[in-house]
Structure 1
Amino acid sequence: MNASATNPEAPRLVKPEGGFMITLDRITNKMMKWLTYRGISILGSRILAVRGRKSGEWRTTPVNLLVVDGERYLVAPRGHTQWVRNMRAAHGGELRLGKKVEAFTATELDDADKPPVLRAYMKKWAWEVGYFFGDIKADSPEEELNRIAPGFPVFRITAA
């Protein structure tokens, strides 16, 4: 069970819970990692590398790099995950695609600035991550996107 389910004040975090969705999620993640490590990007997929906030060691996870109006973003559809916490501490990291490595700095968006990015993210990747947004869709009213914004960390990234 995630922290939000037991404490409504806790940041939203969706952990895999089992059954079909966890199996599908694991298969998708493995496939995305395998392709991305070989230099094949699926709609902007990358391997995110961020230094651990306690260990200082590189931690990696597959992510979807989103471009909106020339700006690049990383969205955390699962909520306040470990990579999000590490990013907040490190203020940047690396995006990897095959042998190409790009260092970047990251700035977290305020909740009020998230709706257009969340909308674009859902338009592009609802087929992959739509279930993390529940009944919120890309065409949901702005008020709904504002309501869920605190549960979805978003980082604007710029080349270091």
Structure 2
Amino acid sequence: MTTRYDEPNRTARATNVVFRWLAEAGISIAGTRALRVRGRTTGKLRGVVVNLMTVDGRDYVVSPRGNTQWVRNARAAGEVEMGPRWRGRTVRISEVADDAKLDLLKRYLDRWYWEVKGHVGGLTPQSTDEQIRAVAPSIPIVELL
């Protein structure tokens, strides 16, 4: 696992606040969901908006920006809270191995590339399998159990 992290700029942060607020209110825009996870040092719940991807009845969350704070917190906690504030559910997580990411990343790029195009390690929906495999270790994917 590499430690790439594309930190959001001020505009992206402001936009994410709006989308997170909507997701926490139960309003999904293009598959967005509210995700909350306990901070590693403070223990406070930290919220972020993510795209929930379901493949073969299994739910996944991709971190296109890389090794973000929510990913690090989720690894430490071993669980996240998903959904609107009033009916969020706590779910355990399992990180997807690098060699199992190819199909998931292809599906993610097909669906959300328009939204994350500057933050997926240079990948596009037209990227070859080799290109995706090369970047896959820098894009954490967690399965919601």
Tell whether the structures are fold-level matches, with TM greater than 0.5. yes
Task: Name 1:6's counterpart in structure 2.
Answer: none
* Partner Cα distance (1:129, 1:67) in 2: 18
* Partner Cα distance (1:123, 1:98) in 2: 29
CA deviation after TM superposition for structure 1 residue 67, in Å:
0.8
Matched, 1:118 2:105: yes
Name the % identity. Answer: 39
Matched, 1:33 2:20: yes
Task: Name 1:80's counterpart in structure 2.
Answer: 67
Task: Name 1:13's counterpart in structure 2.
Answer: 5
Name segments (4+ residues, structure 1) moved above 6 Å: none
* Partner Cα distance (2:46, 2:75) in 1: 14
Larger relative CO (CA 8 A, sep 6+): 1 or 2? 2
Question: Contact 1:33–1:62 (CA<8 Å) still a contact in 2?
Answer: yes
* Partner Cα distance (1:42, 1:11) in 2: 29
Between 121-130 and 134-143, the greater mean CA deviation after superposition: 134-143
Answer with 1 or 2: which has the greater Rg: 1
2:32 is aligned with what amino acid? S
Judged with a 3 Å threshold, the aligned counterparts in structure 2 of structure 1 residues 128 and 27 are, in CA distance, closer, same or farther, namely farther
CA deviation after TM superposition for structure 1 residue 155, in Å:
0.3
**Any idea what the Cα deviations from partners look like across 1:62-81, whole Å, max 9, x if unmatched?**
11111112111011111001
* Partner Cα distance (1:34, 1:48) in 2: 11
2:113 is aligned with what amino acid? A
TM-score, normalising length from structure 1? Answer: 0.83
Matched, 1:152 2:139: yes
* Partner Cα distance (2:27, 2:35) in 1: 14
**Any idea what the Cα deviations from partners look like across 1:58-112, whole Å, max 9, x if unmatched?**
1111111111121110111110011111111111110022522111010001110
Task: Name 1:71's counterpart in structure 2.
Answer: 58
Question: Contact 2:120–2:139 (CA<8 Å) still a contact in 1?
Answer: no
Residue correspondence of structure 1 range 82-101 to structure 2 within 5 A: 82-97=69-84, 99-101=86-88
CA deviation after TM superposition for structure 1 residue 27, in Å:
4.2
1:139 is aligned with what amino acid? Q
* Partner Cα distance (2:142, 2:51) in 1: 12
Which segments of 5 or more consecutive residues in structure 2 lack a partner in the other structure?
none
Task: Name 2:41's counterpart in structure 1.
Answer: 54
Secondary structure, counterpart of 2:118 in structure 1: helix
Aligned positions, number: 145
TM-score, normalising length from structure 2? Answer: 0.91
